[in-house]
Amino acid sequence: MTERKKALVLFSGGQDSATCLAWALDAFDEVETVGFAYGQRHAVELECRDRFAVKLRARFAQWAVKMGGDHTLDLSLIQALGETALTSDSEIAMGKNGLPTTFVPGRNILFFTAAAALACRRGIKHLVGGMCETDYSGYPDCRDDTLKSLQVSLNLGLDARFVIETPLMWRDKAATWAMAYELGGQALVDLIVEETHSCYRGDRTQRHAWGYGCGACPACELRANGWDRYKAAG
Ligand code: ZN
């Protein structure tokens, strides 16, 4: 009997991690999800992740049977470590270090470390995250090299054989929309548009072709630009 392949998806409620969740449900036998509460300036993403998961189960029977537990971990220490535009009302802009002020130092490293500890307890080998270094905001902890080296460190430190999967690493945002279409057709694209959230400002009052958002922050610009190129490619 072959072992059931299990994955834990870092699912934030954004476009990228929602696409990764669909990817994992396609690729693995059993998929659990984890979200992190870290004092985000708006709870919109966390609300989106619940609605997205409920509708995903309802609309995709082939995936519903594979969806296991959902976990929320409190990482409020990120907020305690200091102010960023993601966890306070400070302005979203480009900082002196060349990174947007939304940058939370080491966030993805903390996320994967916490996820690995959880996966250890749950007997899960594959950790899936939506990090991407193709068109991104320049966060150093989204880079492939960072995550490859983190995989080695986690495996040594936890005496484990985790595999960190980042299916979006070499895709731009247009290709991420195309991937959603390949995985779940128009129904999945529609669900991602409607029920995922990327906007740093947490704006759900303005509805665009690509979903809700202020339309002006770096995350909205990336999402809108990717959507336009996806639609242009037909
Ligand atoms: Zn926005």
pLDDT at residue 84, as a whole number:
59
pLDDT at residue 28, as a whole number:
98
Spell out the domain ranges in the chain: 3-233
The strand pairing partners of 74, in sequence order, are: 37
Distance 147 CA to ligand 1 centre (A): 27
Q: Which CATH number fits domain 3-233: 3.40.630.10, 3.40.50.970, 3.40.50.1820, 3.40.50.620?
A: 3.40.50.620
Mind listing the pLDDT tens digit for each residue in 124-140? 999 999 999 886 667 88
CA pair distance 113, 107, nearest whole angstrom: 10
pLDDT at residue 76, as a whole number:
85
Distance 176 CA to ligand 1 centre (A): 19
Handedness of CA 174, 175, 178, 183 (dihedral sign): negative
Dihedral through CA 10, CA 15, CA 16, CA 18, nearest 10?
50
Q: Which of 136, 112, 138 is nearest to 198 (CA)?
A: 136
pLDDT at residue 150, as a whole number:
97
Q: Which of 94, 151, 126, 148 is nearest to 24 (CA)?
A: 126
Mind listing the pLDDT tens digit for each residue in 141-189? 889 999 999 999 999 999 999 999 999 999 999 999 999 999 999 999 9
Distance 117 CA to ligand 1 centre (A): 32
3-state secondary structure of 34: strand
Low-confidence ranges of the chain (pLDDT < 50): none
Q: How many CA atoms lie within 13 A of 149 on its CB side?
A: 8
CA pair distance 5, 21, nearest whole angstrom: 15
Distance 59 CA to ligand 1 centre (A): 28
pLDDT at residue 100, as a whole number:
59
Distance 118 CA to ligand 1 centre (A): 31
pLDDT at residue 60, as a whole number:
98
Query: Strand 126-128 and strand 163-165: pairing?
Result: parallel
